[in-house]
Structure 1
């Protein structure tokens, strides 16, 4: 049965790759962005190493050795030698983490774990919610891959479930909680930084379709002298559902200076939509994040929160703890709109690593 399920997932991926927007065009666009992450982190770790008096050596395979005195550590992009493999696996299992958070009475969304063969359970869950839901892979992904929001009928549920199952056999359906997306960063339980990550947008020029505006946005990202993001803006089901919610399609022409959100999932935004908010986070939220990383034994963790107001407790805003990240993208704290508020997170991570060796 396991072999059959693997074959089914492989076939589903092949089908997705044959679709016009999810296939060749997307691969071609992603290829244009393929070196951005590597180039960013080469410079990132070089500067962080220099700042703490360490040396950086390229050891191949995308890895770098950082040496300070008689101590050394290795990094690869945003991956560092802190949390062990079991911790990473546990935190990457979304249903497992949600159940732990539920046991400790943290604010989380209503959710259901399911598989394609018992999607009828997900249908019943969606109907019981009486509101939109989010469908995502239960584990094995990051950066918003396989996630679809605004699921409010059975047809969308089936499409989103098929899409998510191409990444993982086990799926999650969660209530969609309205609010902004925030990332709180911790090192060994110490609160370091907080960001508000807004959804990606396009701005109308009075003549271009949304499809054309998205293409222009991608060209802007590719041709910028500075790295604005690692990701292109992709037209997929998530995008089309968000546009439909606003009475739009990819063929719609926006008025000049009309600004619209093209996706609810924030992972394909750019630095212009990321804002430093560490000075406005309510103390109770900081404490909640500390309790979570300590409970799960996480050394370097990013806590994703959805709330309408980060300056008040979740109980008052109706917000939730959305996800826990054990390999949080450190670049998020550099690719922000407020350049003067950037913290040297890379230096902090290296200092912690070397001080605990």
Structure 2
């Protein structure tokens, strides 16, 4: 099986709203294998019925891939939610397999394993499936999110709070976006005080502070020698607990030490985990854990040491092995319970009860395997939240606040948690930062408590952690529209993050340079704590390659849909391209801004989620789609007599004269007027007032410094040069129309197009340019795999289809020679359009030999 490409679509995509893996399969030369499905099912007999039915008579390897990948993920313990196999009549040699996933690394490995397994079955070759599944399970285990973290994330998602996994190795997550985000690592939050964590890790310092705050704690002190430990035990005059000063999860703890030998053994054991050891009063009673989140008690559990109950037949070893087969138990913290270890400490605890591993406990007798009740060493928990007296709740909250922790696990020992601590000589023995919460989420007995939700409530209150997000897509105009919106929001005092084809900008400063219209760049903005408002230019390529970086946006803007990039990434028609753009629209939750003059945009309106507002924009005040929408009480923005008008049903308000907007070239650049209409609609949908919108539109400048490659105008010795990254038919037609409105003279086009466009698209660009310009110079820029001269030849072929006269057409493959040739065809007062340019140096270096002063002036203007 030849997998020619695979992509992880990490956010909403053309296929699903959740993460999925896309694999492109080369079907050329693929041979069907009779009985393939039956052999696979024999190896995977537990496959769900629907998938098994599809696989049962399957003979084609690519059709077997998706159900096998999904089953391997399920068996690894990281199941995906959906899968599909697609073939395209337009691409008979390719198949597309899409598999949902929960763990990206498992999905990628499952794809490779599935391909190898299918090839083996097709060729009747042995395959070690057990070993492959062990590897998959190991991958799933290594990349799993801990139970406590998962509970907090699940609670956040139920609240609609978005999350990002920032660093997998550190298991670090971001909840919320931008300036309203919170950080989470296990149950340590961004609000957790570093000094408080240090205090909590020093058990003696913790006890001292709690004692000073009037919180009941056991007597005791820190020692470094056995002699000191024995002396402290004599001072306490009773059984003692011996434990390391700064270990966690019950490591090195021995309780109820009454003799010198017991203390000596306990001291030696504690020293394995640290040089400093605490010897303190052993409090009689049960072990309880109280979870404090913010200023409230969220849950309380009675923690029982790991134990087994005798049946009069089985040995202790057999009882433990049977308990460890409980599906709830596993290794580490990814499971509800942890397996009970049979180590030296367990043997010692057994010996203290008169048992060893081969003992057969009497039926009904309880045998402990640990002296402490930590879940990390196999303990269990029973919920007792409702039993806590108000006094005990107050003590626990005071203890957490005394240490300085926003989320704390308070360890209490007392006879009966339902009684006040002081009257039964109970006390707090530890305060823990980063407390595990699985005992509260999944108690062995009692009422489960949503500790994850309690932590989320403490972090966010009633907030959802979201900043306003406007996503902008379309074939042309995305960058200018995004910058227009961002300019208005910054003028309103909001720190704005914006992604464009030129870079990522945070509050006006470019922090990343390049084409930044995809997943990673949007994530950069949403992860920045310095962003109050996000404007995300979202291009076709970014959607298809990685999906969206956001689960939803407040407002989506779809400017237009026309032929561009067709033949790439499985998108062959304008209708398919429109479906890609619609991915943005269907993620909007407040409003969608649509072009009333674009049929593909208008068609999207019928598929939007219920309750999402539609705002239309149009350069034509009499557009029937717009008029019908307004008659039905909808909102829209349109142009009438050079004035932008905002309409809400029958109420129409003039916003500003477009000729006062620098980016419209005194009203000549109708495409930038359309961009301004869309921006005004998006801003109105997000709650900005007319005065704020008008002020922003009136002051936005589309020059090289603020909006490079977007209709930047330069004067070259009396010739007006419009520099624009036009690269498709619609863009060149719009530029020609604008340039024609600027001069009574001639229009000269210096044009190119990227080489990854289809032949017919390059021919169409040439034909469009021939219709729009009086003189034409064709050059080449990014050939992207084509031979030198091939792109230019196709553009020339298109120009000649328009019956362009040969003496008005010139080919200069080098960009500098092309610009010089174009300028040579101009006279003062003419306009030269330089399309598909990529850098200002292309212009300045072209004119420097003959006009060095002009080249230097242009460079200075652009700074």
Q: Which TM-score tier does this pair reach, normalised by the shorter chain?
A: 0.7 to 0.9
1:123–1:32 CA distance, 2 compared to 1 (3 A)? farther
1:39–1:318 CA distance, 2 compared to 1 (3 A)? closer
Q: Give the structure 2 partner of residue 5 of structure 1.
A: none
Distance 1:32 1:277 in 2: 37
CA RMSD, Structure 1 to Structure 2 (Å): 3.0
Q: Give the structure 2 partner of residue 196 of structure 1.
A: 302
Give CA-to-partner distance per residue, 1:192-219, whole Å, 9 cap, x none: 2211112221022333321332233223
Q: Give the structure 2 partner of residue 187 of structure 1.
A: 293
Instruction: Return the match for 1:320 from 408, 414, 427.
Output: 427
Give CA-to-partner distance per residue, 1:133-160, whole Å, 9 cap, x none: 2111101x21101112232223332332
Give CA-to-partner distance per residue, 1:63-90, whole Å, 9 cap, x none: 2322257522232333322212111001
1:72–1:32 CA distance, 2 compared to 1 (3 A)? closer
Q: Give the structure 2 partner of residue 102 of structure 1.
A: 211
Distance 1:33 1:264 in 2: 32
Q: Give the structure 2 partner of residue 228 of structure 1.
A: 336
Q: Give the structure 1 partner of residue 358 of structure 2.
A: 251
1:123–1:82 CA distance, 2 compared to 1 (3 A)? same
1:228–1:174 CA distance, 2 compared to 1 (3 A)? same
Q: Give the structure 1 partner of residue 440 of structure 2.
A: 333
Matched, 1:213 2:322: no
Matched, 1:154 2:260: yes
Segments of 5+ residues of structure 2 without an aligned counterpart are 1-137, 466-863
Matched, 1:50 2:157: yes
CA contact (8 A) 1:112 1:174 kept: yes
Distance 1:138 1:33 in 2: 34
Distance 2:233 2:275 in 1: 19
CA contact (8 A) 2:286 2:413 kept: yes
Distance 1:163 1:85 in 2: 29
Q: Give the structure 2 partner of residue 163 of structure 1.
A: 269
Matched, 1:120 2:203: no
Give the CA deviation at 1:58: 2.7
Q: Give the structure 2 partner of residue 287 of structure 1.
A: 394
Q: Give the structure 1 partner of residue 418 of structure 2.
A: 311
CA contact (8 A) 2:174 2:184 kept: yes
Q: Give the structure 2 partner of residue 79 of structure 1.
A: 188
CA contact (8 A) 2:152 2:456 kept: no
1:39–1:243 CA distance, 2 compared to 1 (3 A)? same
TM-score (norm 2): 0.35
Distance 1:191 1:245 in 2: 36
Segments of 5+ residues of structure 1 without an aligned counterpart are 1-30
Give the CA deviation at 1:96: 0.6
Matched, 1:63 2:169: no
Distance 1:152 1:253 in 2: 28
SS in 1 for 2:274: coil
Distance 2:200 2:302 in 1: 22
1:57–1:285 CA distance, 2 compared to 1 (3 A)? same
1:159–1:123 CA distance, 2 compared to 1 (3 A)? same
CA contact (8 A) 2:221 2:280 kept: yes
Distance 1:191 1:320 in 2: 17
Give the CA deviation at 1:335: 2.1
CA contact (8 A) 2:147 2:336 kept: no
1:166–1:270 CA distance, 2 compared to 1 (3 A)? closer
Q: Give the structure 1 partner of residue 775 of structure 2.
A: none
Distance 1:328 1:350 in 2: 15
1:270–1:100 CA distance, 2 compared to 1 (3 A)? closer
Matched, 1:178 2:284: yes
1:45–1:295 CA distance, 2 compared to 1 (3 A)? closer
Give the CA deviation at 1:49: 2.1
TM-score (norm 1): 0.79
CA contact (8 A) 2:414 2:424 kept: yes
Misfit runs of 4+, over 6 Å: 31-34, 269-272
Q: Which has the higher contact order (CA 8 A, sep 6+)?
A: 1
SS in 2 for 1:220: coil
Give the CA deviation at 1:171: 0.7
Distance 2:253 2:323 in 1: 22
Distance 2:217 2:139 in 1: 37
Matched, 1:273 2:380: yes
Distance 1:33 1:152 in 2: 45
CA contact (8 A) 1:203 1:257 kept: yes
Distance 2:405 2:420 in 1: 23
Matched, 1:342 2:418: no
CA contact (8 A) 2:193 2:405 kept: no
Could you say which structure has the larger radius of gyration? Answer: 2
Give CA-to-partner distance per residue, 1:3-58, whole Å, 9 cap, x none: xxxxxxxxxxxxxxxxxxxxxxxxxxxx9996697353564244212111122233
CA contact (8 A) 1:83 1:300 kept: yes
Distance 2:375 2:273 in 1: 18
Aligned residues: 321
Q: Give the structure 2 partner of residue 25 of structure 1.
A: none
Distance 1:282 1:271 in 2: 28
1:181–1:134 CA distance, 2 compared to 1 (3 A)? same
Give CA-to-partner distance per residue, 1:286-315, whole Å, 9 cap, x none: 121122222222211121111111121122
SS in 2 for 1:144: coil
Q: Give the structure 2 partner of residue 296 of structure 1.
A: 403
SS in 1 for 2:325: helix
CA contact (8 A) 1:134 1:150 kept: yes
Distance 1:83 1:131 in 2: 37
